[in-house]
Structure 1
Amino acid sequence: MKLLRLFPDDSKFRFVRWRVVTFPFSAAVAVLTLVLFMTAGLNFGIDFTGGTLIEMQAKSGHADLAKVRETAHAFNAGEVEVQEFGSGGQVSLRFRTQPGGQEAQNKLVAEVRKTFESEYDIRRDETVGPRVSGELVQAGTLGVVLSILAVLGYLWFRFEMNLAIGAVIGTLHDIVLTVGFFLITREEFNMTSIAAILTIVGYSLNETVVVFDRTRELLRKYKNIPTEELLDLSINHTMSRTVMTATTTALSLLALVLFGGQAIQGFANVMLFGVIICTYSAIFVSTPMLIYLGVKTSARAAAEDKADKAMREAAQRRSAAPTAG
């Protein structure tokens, strides 16, 4: 039985030559991300800015999340997160820190209690202050940094130095563009977003390693073809697998975006964007970057040595020529 192919096995598309377009595009987005990060900043959620957490238990044993969410938004208290947890109709509500300090927070809690007390038992309410939020920011940042260092260590042992550096550049590129997605769309950045970024790091590494594994094999097999042609060959050889993986993952995430509900909407949006960016990065960024990192076939190395030798001989002839006058 013939296997399904979303990309021809014998394709000879020249992906690497598009670096003259993709490199400036990625650089422009990275600069825009930096500018927005320094000026507008991320749209931090309750996890990072602080706020009020209220947990309720439905008296009937079943919570109507749609109704609870609609009622919570009617308080006009800004962004509110409504989630069901555990079993038996347990619901949590998270409100942002209200203007007016503790008095405003207490007033909001009292209003929530009064509104829901007929159908729900209020089990717990607490306020998360700026100090706790700052600790969450530090913990989340530390998690991302440690994951990048772990990726760097893995790549260092898995590949030669040039290939490892290319894979790290591709991973950092994907993280920067994902942060840019948060900055441009103003998607709320919370602890779920940290989980999404860490997942994207893993997906980016997976996509890059697949192409680089084939690149390493072809470097040993073909020694007399130009480096650009060899890199195109490695991308084309793995393109069917790349397209299949990206398509199936994207379709699953698209279903979550369309039908997953508000609770996981943000996570699904970021992950769908991440899959697209990681696929783009593995093909048009990290692989072409190997040209500038010194990865070359024997043919290219010989051509460069020949050119260098010719330049040295020309320089020697010029220096040995008698000066006029």
Structure 2
Amino acid sequence: MRLRLVKQDTSFDFFSRWKLWLGISGAMMVIALVSFFLQGLNYGIDFRGGTTIRTESAQPVDVGQYRAALEVLEMGDISITEVFDPTFGPDQNVAMIRIEAQEGQESASVEKIRAVEGALSAAVPDIKFTSVESVGPKVSGELIQTAVIAVLLAIGAVLVYIWLRFEWQFALGAVIALVHDVVLTIGIFSELQIKFDLAIIAALLTIVGYSLNDTVVVFDRVRENLRKYKKKPLAEVLNISINETLSRTVMTSVTTLLALFALFALGGDVIRGFVFAMIWGVIVGTYSSVFVASAILLYLGVKRDWSKPTDTTGNQFANIDA
């Protein structure tokens, strides 16, 4: 007996209140943008600049021990990670400690660095400090700009891909859904003031890919059913398509969330922000595939018969069947 989270033959009406769902999504996006412009993001060291200290020791790196030794210094955001460096051989114990830029300074002062080294030396007597590097606000600003460009290019590539694969109405629905997911993710980070660093940018790009995959599965079934049920209203065809793919959508989302919740609980502080972004992204991505992308498609209308050319709907690639 196969496990099913959703029974095989469902008949939910997802579009009886589609305007309400779009209104809720629009309101959530407005709240997210207002929070972003009023509060901003709680940028991490990657975007604010700071000082990086690389250490080496004979004993294995204990991130918890390092963090406990540095907490008493009250230096704000401190990131501690164990890294692999081939220059140190197979028995390496190398750690990377990143300290946020102090107020009014581009990096940690010499006194602060000495305090960090003293605290770590007391906790780990054989520790060595192999390098100290600073990242100024100019480099951090370039990272922010590069991150924004990466997200925009990803969404732009999705627009072109969906346009070529389906119709421009499908492409617009998919892109609006992706923008919805990214804006809400940035909004929740702004509202809760969770640390926002390069790992979160990676999460945003992953969310774009996950949400797109879910949307394309639904749109593929919509296109098949538009050819199969040429006389049915578009809303009914969309309902049939979403119900037919609902079991797959729920199963994929739930199994992904199970893994993410385990990582959130057991993965430690280093990846917690990334995992939180992924959990939120899977939830809003699943929601947007059903209630945003498909609702936009219903609003715009779509070509019903691909066997007949038309100059009012679709685009010049309408007859290409991917």
TM-score, L = length of structure 1? 0.87
Moved more, 205-214 or 66-75: 66-75
The offset of 1:20, in angstroms, is: 3.3
Aligned to 1:101, what secondary structure does the other structure show?
coil
Asked if 2 retains the 8 angstrom alpha-carbon contact of 1:171 and 1:205, the reply is: yes
Asked if 2 retains the 8 angstrom alpha-carbon contact of 1:56 and 1:121, the reply is: yes
The offset of 1:260, in angstroms, is: 0.6
* 1:289 aligned onto 2:288: no
The higher radius of gyration belongs to 1
Asked if 2 retains the 8 angstrom alpha-carbon contact of 1:80 and 1:93, the reply is: yes
Aligned to 2:95, what secondary structure does the other structure show?
strand
* 1:20 aligned onto 2:19: yes
Please identify which structure carries the higher helix content.
Answer: 1
Q: CA RMSD in A?
A: 1.6
* 1:204 aligned onto 2:216: no
Structure 1 residues 248 and 103: alpha-carbon distance in aligned structure 2, compared to 1, 3 A threshold: closer
The offset of 1:297, in angstroms, is: 5.1
Asked if 2 retains the 8 angstrom alpha-carbon contact of 1:81 and 1:94, the reply is: yes
Structure 1 residues 51 and 29: alpha-carbon distance in aligned structure 2, compared to 1, 3 A threshold: same
Aligned twin of 2:34: 35
| 1:29 alignment partner AA | M
The offset of 1:67, in angstroms, is: 0.8
* 1:112 aligned onto 2:111: no
Asked if 2 retains the 8 angstrom alpha-carbon contact of 1:80 and 1:96, the reply is: yes
Question: How far does the alpha carbon of each residue in 1:75-123 deviate from its partner, in whole angstroms, 9 at most, with x for none?
Answer: 1001111111116221111111112536952111011112223231001
Question: How do 1:231-310 residues align onto structure 2 when only pairs under 5 Å count?
Answer: 231-295=238-302
Aligned twin of 2:8: 9
User: What is the distance in 1 between the residues matched to 2:144 and 2:297?
Assistant: 35
| 1:135 alignment partner AA | E
The offset of 1:18, in angstroms, is: 3.4
The offset of 1:240, in angstroms, is: 0.6
Aligned twin of 2:77: 79
Moved more, 92-101 or 122-131: 92-101
Q: Unmatched 5+ residue regions in structure 2?
A: 85-90, 306-322
Asked if 1 retains the 8 angstrom alpha-carbon contact of 2:100 and 2:107, the reply is: no
**Residue from 138, 141, 145 that aligns with 2:145:** 138
Aligned twin of 1:65: 63
Aligned twin of 1:51: 50
Aligned twin of 1:314: none
Question: How do 1:86-105 residues align onto structure 2 when only pairs under 5 Å count?
Answer: 86=84, 88-101=92-105, 105=109
User: What is the distance in 2 between the residues matched to 1:135 and 1:103?
Assistant: 17
| 2:66 alignment partner AA | V
User: What is the distance in 1 between the residues matched to 2:63 and 2:209?
Assistant: 33
Question: How far does the alpha carbon of each residue in 1:124-171 deviate from its partner, in whole angstroms, 9 at most, with x for none?
Answer: 111111111111111111111111111111111111111111111111
The offset of 1:295, in angstroms, is: 2.3
Moved more, 262-271 or 148-157: 148-157
Asked if 2 retains the 8 angstrom alpha-carbon contact of 1:59 and 1:121, the reply is: no
Moved more, 265-274 or 7-16: 7-16
Q: Hey, which bits of structure 1, 4+ residues long, moved more than 4 A?
A: none
Moved more, 111-120 or 64-73: 111-120
Aligned to 2:109, what secondary structure does the other structure show?
helix
The offset of 1:267, in angstroms, is: 0.4
User: What is the distance in 1 between the residues matched to 2:148 and 2:67?
Assistant: 30
User: What is the distance in 1 between the residues matched to 2:9 and 2:21?
Assistant: 24
Asked if 2 retains the 8 angstrom alpha-carbon contact of 1:55 and 1:123, the reply is: yes
User: What is the distance in 2 between the residues matched to 1:18 and 1:297?
Assistant: 23
Aligned twin of 1:185: 192
User: What is the distance in 2 between the residues matched to 1:131 and 1:103?
Assistant: 12
| 2:196 alignment partner AA | F
TM-score, L = length of structure 2? 0.88
User: What is the distance in 1 between the residues matched to 2:245 and 2:49?
Assistant: 46
Structure 1 residues 236 and 28: alpha-carbon distance in aligned structure 2, compared to 1, 3 A threshold: same
Aligned to 1:224, what secondary structure does the other structure show?
coil
Asked if 2 retains the 8 angstrom alpha-carbon contact of 1:227 and 1:296, the reply is: no
User: What is the distance in 2 between the residues matched to 1:8 and 1:103?
Assistant: 57
The offset of 1:225, in angstroms, is: 1.5
| 2:152 alignment partner AA | V
Asked if 1 retains the 8 angstrom alpha-carbon contact of 2:48 and 2:100, the reply is: yes
Question: How far does the alpha carbon of each residue in 1:16-63 deviate from its partner, in whole angstroms, 9 at most, with x for none?
Answer: 223233212111111111111211111111101111111111232x11
